[in-house]
Amino acid sequence: MADLQCEKCKQWKGIRDFHRSTTSEGGPYPQFAPLCHECEDPLDFDPFYMDPADLIAEVKKLRAGIRTHRDSTGHHLCWFATELWGLVPGKIDPKPEVPPTEEFLAHCRIYRESLGK
């Protein structure tokens, strides 16, 4: 089989250096991810194995989470959005590092002032 070019690092590599995705519709040849093993984030590889219905469901779930956050009002705009973070693969500590209180509040004031009165 021919070598493939990784879309990120632009290196030509053997087929074994790429993840196999689903078989192409109407053709006998498997499709391969556009990124080689070294460039692909393993947390983002699952879409290559999803069927179209699962992909649509995933897109709808992510869009709903983004809309919920976007449409937040009042103090909900200031808080970190663990619900939104939970929609993507990979776990993180739900308590992020924040600057000291005075610096944090100063940035809140700058943000509020940027919105106008």
The reported pLDDT for the residue numbered 23 is 47
User: Which residue range(s) make up the domain with 108?
Assistant: 50-117
| Co-location of 14 and 61 in the same domain | no
Q: 109 and 59 in one domain?
A: yes
Distance CA 97, CA 17 (A): 37
Decide the pairing of beta strands 30-36 and 18-23.
Answer: antiparallel
CA distance 17 to 5: 10
Identify the three-state secondary structure at position 106.
Answer: helix
Q: Specify the CATH number for the domain of residue 29.
A: 3.30.60
Closest Cα to residue 9, out of 35, 27, 48?
A: 35
Question: Do residues 99 and 58 share a domain?
Answer: yes
* Predicted model pTM: 0.53
Please give the Cα distance from 42 to 102 (Å, whole number).
Answer: 38
Q: 107 and 60 in one domain?
A: yes
How many domains in the chain? 2
Same domain, residue pair 22 and 69: no
Predicted confidence (pLDDT) per residue in 88-112, tens digit: 877 777 677 788 999 988 988 888 8
C-alpha 36/C-alpha 19 separation (Å) is 7
Q: Confidence band (pLDDT; 50, 70, 90) for 1?
A: low
